[in-house]
Chains A and B, each alone.
Chain A
């Protein structure tokens, strides 16, 4: 098993509202391994987005508060970091793609401004300036007549610049901005944005939904992050664009070597691109498995219900099975296993205490009393 890049342990995020304390996350455990795509699925309001915001420490405070737990990124607990340290990590090491590309981009800034801003915040552009100057000189040398006296001088200049690489001087804002724009165009090419040179001068309202989502992904990937959190990245796109964006994400994951935590309620997306899946219900992770194992052999009654509710192409069914009842109110959650009021296999113990996470087979764990004796 590769190394875990992000480990979430017993994370609890509560929202203190007028009506009472909303226990949005009640001690979740989650591992994201190096270079994998982990899917986080569950119905609306089960705490998927709160999980992602908690990792980034972006939960609105007030009313939200991370009350307990650890988010360990490369051996360091993100919850103990200062706001300034978090700003260094956000956008650089851990980035996020949000759900709605329509409102995610700032309407008064051009795409180029917005993507290059991320680069300008996190990257050492002075080095880029030096590099581009060397390129410029070398291009000039190529075009020059070999006997020209300028040639000698340019060669010297290249050597001078090479020496600057270790400790680049402070360049003017203008030159830094140019370097950022060059990088922006590269990143936009990476996300297969059509005609990036034109797009950087356009405003968000001039782009289509798919192009905007590409711009957002470009922003998220511009600093080659270790972890990309994608919060329902394709929900507001139509299916063809959805497929393109998903293909793009898995391709970029390979190129950059990032891990992806993809949050979705669409089992189709999970099957398409995830290596592993964690299923959430009412603020708890209830089952974690490799994608194939989960689809073949769902263990938790909720996961089983979820998969039964998906229409199948190869079977003619009159009516899809549903999970009876509805999502519990998280201010007064059910005692014990939060799924027990809706569970067809309910036992006496279920409403007493939350079931422990049991590893049924390697990589496949479930939180359910049904499997306690079997083990």
Chain B
């Protein structure tokens, strides 16, 4: 092939890089972003999310102190220039700990939602497309999962596995995938009756190709919306579980745990619980704003 590379220099050919090849997809993406920009709420959501992601990525440079650094002689200090959000009961800088905490909470949210989408949509798509026994079996399984309140089930799983962040993540994954399986199954059931599926069959495509190349991409828009909304939901649930004691071990900079630490001093030193609470509120609010915006924009009926 090296020879061919040399030959190419002699041949007039259009440079075909990745961007050229994916021009149509990029064009659609740009249009979607253009539509999203029309809504101030979505823009606000994006700005906030960007802020939180930036916080998570650049935590070592932004945070003035380490996540577990303690000023033992300065506990429960009110907000000041030195400690913008005050200090907690053990003298940790709440401002720094919130920044470090964004790393943990965003990672949990992303991992849980990503794996739930992966497992849920593959199983849901196969279930919806194949139907019959597999569909019936899988749907009864999801029924079992959905019969429990999400928080209770996650608590049970986390309790069974032991108290740490990895197990918390696993517990949330177990709780979250059935939602996606159901969502995708419903979409696939509707999409598989469409004519282009018959058309794909008529040109000799096999079932795997039809499911993953034709039907699934058509069913994915509601999943994107649901995923954005769920990111906020997972942050809330994870914090909730940490708050009641399933999750991060004592002293870890995690938002839910920080609230739990401050709850006994809510009246003497409200800043200990309030600022982490604000972080949770803002991050899940921002994700919900984006999710709502996406729902409007990605709905093909409203689109053109």
**Which residues of A approach B to under 8 Å, CB–CB?**
56, 58, 84, 86-92, 95-96, 98, 100, 103-110, 117-118, 121-122, 133, 136-137, 139-140, 143-144, 150, 153-154, 157, 178, 201-203, 205, 216, 219-220
| A87–B11 touching, CB < 8 Å | no
- The prevalent SS among residues of B at the interface is helix
9 A-B residue pairings within 8 Å (CB atoms)? A56-B202, A104-B199, A117-B203, A136-B8, A136-B11, A136-B13, A140-B10, A154-B7, A220-B203
Give 8 new A-B contacts, CB below 8 A, not counting A109-B214, A118-B204, A157-B4: A91-B205, A104-B199, A121-B205, A136-B8, A136-B11, A137-B7, A139-B11, A140-B7
Partner of A87, one of B28, B194, B198, B206: B206
Interface class of chain A by DSSP:
helix
Minimum CB–CB distance from B44 to chain A (whole Å) comes to 29
What's the Cα separation between A186 and B213 when bound, in Å? 24
A88 partner residues in chain B, CB cutoff 8 A: 204
B300 within 8 A of A: yes
A144/B10 in contact, CB under 8 A: yes
**In the complex, A14 Cα to B11 Cα: how many Å?**
60
Q: How far is the CB of B108 from chain A (nearest CB, A)?
A: 31
Q: Mark B1-36, 1 if CB is under 8 A from A, else 0.
A: 001101110111100100000011000100000000
Cβ–Cβ contact A117 & B205, under 8 A: yes
Q: Is the CB of A178 within 8 A of B16?
A: yes
Q: Nearest chain-B residue to A154 (Cβ)?
A: B7
- Does B196 interact with chain A (Cβ within 8 Å)? yes
Q: Tell me the minimal C-beta distance from B158 to chain A in angstroms.
A: 38
Which residues of the other chain, B, contact A153 by a CB distance below 8 angstroms? 3
CA distance A139 to B10 in the complex (A): 9
Q: Are A108 and B195 in contact (CB under 8 A)?
A: no
* B-chain residues with CB within 8 Å of residue A216 when the two chains form the complex: 199
CB of B205 within 8 A of CB of A87, answer yes
A136, B218: Cβ atoms closer than 8 Å = no
Nearest to A83 among chain B residues (CB) is B206
Question: With A103-B195, A109-B217 given, is the CB distance from A133 to B203 under 8 Å?
Answer: no
Q: Which 10 A-B pairs give the minimum distances between C-beta atoms?
A: A91-B203, A91-B204, A90-B204, A103-B195, A106-B196, A140-B10, A96-B202, A87-B204, A201-B24, A118-B203
Q: How far is the CB of B197 from chain A (nearest CB, A)?
A: 8
B160 vs chain A, min Cβ distance (A): 41
Partner of B10, one of A95, A133, A150: A150
Q: Are A91 and B24 in contact (CB under 8 A)?
A: no
Interface size class, chain B: 20 to 34
Complex interface: chain A residues within 8 A of B28 (CB): 203
On whether the beta carbons of B196 and A103 are closer than 8 Å, the reply is: yes
Give complex CA distance A106, B211 in Å.
Answer: 12
Residue of chain A at shortest CB distance from B215: A106
Q: Is the CB of A106 within 8 A of B206?
A: no
Partner of A107 from the list B6, B7, B300 (CB cut-off 8 Å) is: B300
Question: Smallest distance from the beta carbon of B25 to chain A beta carbons, Å?
Answer: 8
CA distance A315 to B218 in the complex (A): 52
- Taking a contact as CB atoms closer than 8 A, the residue among A95, A107, A140 that contacts B11 in the complex is A140
Evaluate contact between B196 and A105: CB separation under 8 angstroms. yes
A108 to B13, CA, bound (A): 29
B37 in the interface (beta carbon within 8 A): no
Q: Which residues of B contact A137 (CB under 8 A)?
A: 7
Contacting pair B214 A89 (CB below 8 A): no
Q: Flag if B195 contacts A122 (CB, 8 Å).
A: no
- Residue with the highest number of chain B CB atoms closer than 10 Å, among A56, A108, A201: A108
Of the residues A98, A121, A202, contact of B204 by C-beta under 8 Å: A121
Chain A nearest CB, measured from B31 CB (Å): 11
Cβ–Cβ contact B205 & A108, under 8 A: no
Pair A157/B7 contact, Cβ less than 8 Å = yes
User: Cβ of B282 < 8 Å from any Cβ of A?
Assistant: no
Closest chain B CB from A182 CB (angstroms):
12
- Chain A residues with Cβ below 8 Å from B203 are 90-91, 95, 117-118, 121, 219-220
A293 to B278, CA, bound (A): 85
* Contact (Cβ within 8 A) A105 B199: yes
Q: In the complex, what residues of A have CB within 8 A of residue B16's CB?
A: 178
- Cα-based distance from A95 to B23 in the complex (angstroms): 30
A265 to chain B, nearest CB (A): 19
> What residues of chain B lie closer than 8 Å to A84, measured between beta carbons?
206
Q: Which residues from B are CB-within-8-Å of A87?
A: 204-206
Q: How far, in Å, is B20 (CB) from chain A's closest CB?
A: 9
Which one, A58, A140, A154, A157, contacts B201 given CB within 8 A? A58
Beta-carbon contact of B218 and A108 below 8 Å? yes
- Closest approach, in angstroms, between the C-beta of A201 and any C-beta of chain B? 5
Contact between chains at A100 and B195 (CB < 8 Å):
yes
Whether A106 contacts B205 by the Cβ 8 Å rule is no
Find chain B residues with CB under 8 A from A121 CB.
203-205, 209
Complexed CA–CA distance, A122 and B13 (Å): 28
Does A106 lie within 8 Å of B11, measured CB to CB?
A: no
Q: Which residue of chain B lies nearest to A177 when distances are taken between CB atoms in the complex?
A: B21
Distance (whole angstroms) from the CB of B40 to the closest CB of chain A: 28
